[in-house]
Amino acid sequence: MIEQLTQIFFSLLILSGIAALLAFLIEVAHAYIADYGECQLSINNEKELTVKGGSPLLFTLMEEEIYIPSACGGKGSCSLCKLKVVEGGGPVLPTETPYLCQEEIENNVRLSCQIKVKNDLKIEIPEELFLIREFNVKVDRIEELTHEINGLHLTVQNSEEGLNFKPGQYAQLKIPKYTKTKQSEYRAYSIASAPKNKFDIRLLITKVPSGAVSTYVHDYLKKGQDLKMTGAFGDFYLRDSDRDILMIATGSGLAPFLSMLHHIKDHGITRNTVLFFGDKATEDLLCMEEISSFETTLPNFTFKPILSRVKDKDKWKGEKGRVTDLIEKHVVRNSSIDVYICGAPVMVKSCMDLLAKKGIPEECIMFDKFE
Ligand SMILES: Cc1cc2nc3c(=O)[nH]c(=O)nc-3n(C[C@H](O)[C@H](O)[C@H](O)COP(=O)(O)OP(=O)(O)OC[C@H]3O[C@@H](n4cnc5c(N)ncnc54)[C@H](O)[C@@H]3O)c2cc1C
Ligand code: FES
């Protein structure tokens, strides 16, 4: 019996080995032998482009200076790079299915980083994406805000206009290839500066263990260095309405709210605005002076920080717990508010569940998940 099981085990092992080898050979053939020649890209039935086949659609469009949102650098994990492939896309790939609902599949929505340009394609792209530009930026300053978050101050170099963005939107920062990466990489970072400052852009970047881009920013990037940045992207931005505003953030999720608060101040907006900010300990609190200044300059602004792991020596007088505790305690059931949530996906999910229980309609809740 044991002998038979061992035989089955080794047969399966050999079969898996052969399958892996074949998959590898197909990839090598695709990369080095397959020549897809020139392909036609028809965009929105308006624009015709002749492009070199063989690369993912996302990168092919980038070469043509058409920038599709992407936070993961084309790894197929953020799902932001969706667009419509009306003709020529072939069947939906297994790497796409986890990110597409049935309605999207029926409407030809695809992940542009997963589809390779192998033949002529007919695609549809939202018009506003044609306004997105790539900028040369210079590192003006790197500021250590906490033990794990740096403020990165960038100056836009090659533009008369600078970066136009709405408060809350994000940019994609591109770093060069270095010892920990195989190629240049880019990731999404919310803009933390005032929209009126189109040439001075600030990002808040949390160091992620073994993270390609965040490690580069924290450990390798130097003042005066040149980088590329693309933007602005995203539909997480401050909406015009008469409702009160509730902002909920953890960690560097504070970034878009600093931009929104500057915008509120610069435009004399008087809506009641509350910022819930949650983190672990007092040393995780960031940009406190800036936030305090809003408490004095904005007539209707309240800041409510909460910490989950304070020690006696911290002499913390504020609230203790998580941001969800603040929702439980301070959000009035069925209140007329616009809620903006930004930070780790689990936090965003917990807040949304609680807000739904409090009767806040889904259409009044906007969020950005840092994943
Ligand atoms: C719209 C949007 C806005 C964003 N804004 C900001 C921002 O303002 N500031 C900021 O710091 N980040 C922000 N992010 C996250 C950022 O884009 C990167 O995902 C993050 O910096 C990690 O990139 P990396 O190259 O360092 O790590 P990667 O090399 O991409 O990842 C390395 C490993 O870490 C894991 N990982 C990735 N992100 C995290 C994380 N946040 N926590 C724990 N593990 C992680 C990955 O699953 C992977 O296993 C934003 C993301 C989105 C989608
Ligand atoms: S770029 Fe992130 S999933 Fe396509």
pLDDT digits over 58-68, tens only? 999 999 999 99
Query: How far is Cα 256 from Cα 43, in angstroms, rounded to an integer?
Result: 32
SS3 241: coil
Co-location of 226 and 265 in the same domain: no
- CA dist 74 and 59 (Å) reads 8
pLDDT of the residue at 19: 66
Same domain, 123 and 143: no
Q: Are residues 217 and 314 in the same domain?
A: no
Angle at CA of residue 224, ends 218 and 225, nearest 5°:
65
What's the pLDDT at 90? 92
The answer to whether residue 306 is domain-embedded is yes
Domain final residue, candidates 233, 253, 274: 233
What confidence score (pLDDT) does residue 308 get? 94
Q: Is residue 29 part of a domain?
A: no
- Per DSSP bridges, beta strands 82-87 and 38-43 are unpaired
- Residue 248: partners with Cβ closer than 8 Å, 6 or more residues away: 275, 276, 278, 323, 326, 327, 339, 340, 341, 342, 343, 351
Q: DSSP alpha helices (H): ranges in 252-367?
A: 255-266, 288-297, 323-330, 345-357
Give DSSP secondary structure letters for 124-148. Answer: E--GGGGG-EEEEEEEEEEEE-SSS
CA distances from 80 to 76, 152, 225, 351 (A): 9, 24, 28, 22
Overall average pLDDT of the 136-163 stretch: 96
67 to each of 55, 86, 107, 233, how far by Cα in Å? 15, 19, 21, 9
Segment 27-42 mean pLDDT: 74
Residue 166 forms part of a structural domain: yes
Quick check: 91 pLDDT over 80?
Answer: yes
Is there an atom of ligand 1 within 6 Å of 193 CB?
Answer: no
pLDDT band (50, 70, 90) for residue 325: very high
User: Looking at the predicted structure, is the pLDDT value of residue 34 above 70?
Assistant: no
Q: Which residue has the tokens 């906490």?
A: 146
- Give the per-residue pLDDT at 32: 60
Res. 18 pLDDT band, cuts 50 70 90 = confident
Domain assignment of residue 25, yes or no:
no
| 250-275 per-position pLDDT tens digit | 999 999 999 999 999 999 999 999 99
Q: Give pLDDT, residue 261.
A: 98
Q: List, as one string, the DSSP characters of 89-116.
A: --SPPTTTGGG--HHHHHTTEEETTT-B
Nearest CA to ligand 2 atom 2: 78
For residues 174 and 94, membership in a common domain is answered with: no
**Within this chain, do residues 222 and 114 fall inside the same structural domain, yes or no?**
no
Please, which pLDDT band fits residue 30 given cuts at 50, 70 and 90? low
Identify whether the C-beta of residue 144 lies closer than 8 Å to the C-beta of residue 65: no
Domain presence at residue 44: yes
Q: How far is the CA of 203 from the centre of ligand 2 (A)?
A: 21
User: Which of 30-44, 93-107, 205-219, 257-271 comes out lowest in average pLDDT?
Assistant: 30-44
Q: What is the pLDDT of residue 22?
A: 67
- pLDDT higher than threshold 90 for residue 238: yes
Q: The domain that contains 123 carries what CATH number?
A: 3.10.20.30
Q: Is residue 3 part of a domain?
A: no
| Ligand minimally distant from the alpha carbon of residue 172 | 1
Residue pair 170/233 in contact (Cβ under 8 Å)? The answer is: yes
Read off the CATH number of the domain in which 221 is found.
2.40.30.10
Residue nearest to atom 1 of ligand 2 (CA): 74
How many domains does the structure of the chain reveal?
3
Please check the confidence at residue 10 and state whether its pLDDT lies above 80.
no
Q: Are residues 312 and 363 in the same domain?
A: yes
Strands 319-320 and 301-307, how do they pair? parallel
Last residue of a domain, one of 129, 144, 164: 129
Question: Confidence class of residue 217 from pLDDT cuts 50, 70 and 90?
Answer: very high
Q: Is residue 353 part of a domain?
A: yes
Percent of the chain at pLDDT exceeding 90: 85
By alpha-carbon position, which residue is closest to atom 49 of ligand 1?
211
Ligand nearest to the CA of 171: 1
pLDDT tens string 151-203: 999 999 988 999 999 999 999 999 999 999 999 999 999 999 999 999 999 99
Q: Is the pLDDT of residue 220 over 90?
A: yes
Give domain status of residue 202, yes or no: yes
For β-strands 244-250 and 273-279, DSSP reports them as parallel
Same-domain pairing of 137 and 115: no
88 and 159, same domain (yes or no)? no
Query: Would you give the distance in Å from CA 290 to the centre of its chain?
Result: 24
Ligand 1, residues 80, 152, 189: which to mutate, most atoms within 8 A of Cβ?
189
Q: Which residue has the tokens 């409510």?
A: 304
Residues whose CB is less than 8 angstroms from the CB of residue 20 and which lie 6 or more positions away in sequence, other chains included: none
- Check whether residue 141 and residue 212 sit in a common domain: yes
b/e per residue 146-159 (b: at least 16 CB within 10 A): bebbbbbbbebeee
Provide the pLDDT confidence category of residue 96 given band limits of 50, 70 and 90.
very high
Nearest protein Cα to ligand 1, atom 32: 211
Position 312 confidence tier, pLDDT thresholds 50, 70, 90: confident
Q: Say yes or no: 44 and 155 in one domain.
A: no
CATH number of the structural domain spanning residue 299:
3.40.50.80
Share of residues in the chain with pLDDT > 70 (%): 95
Clarify whether residues 261 and 208 are in a common domain: no
Last residue of a domain, one of 129, 157, 189: 129
CA-nearest residue for atom 14, ligand 1, is 370
Mean of all residue pLDDT scores within the chain: 93
At 244, give phi and psi (nearest 5°).
-65, 160
* Whether residues 147 and 122 fall in one domain: no
Other C-beta atoms closer than 10 Å to the C-beta of 289 total 6
Domain that holds residue 359: 244-369
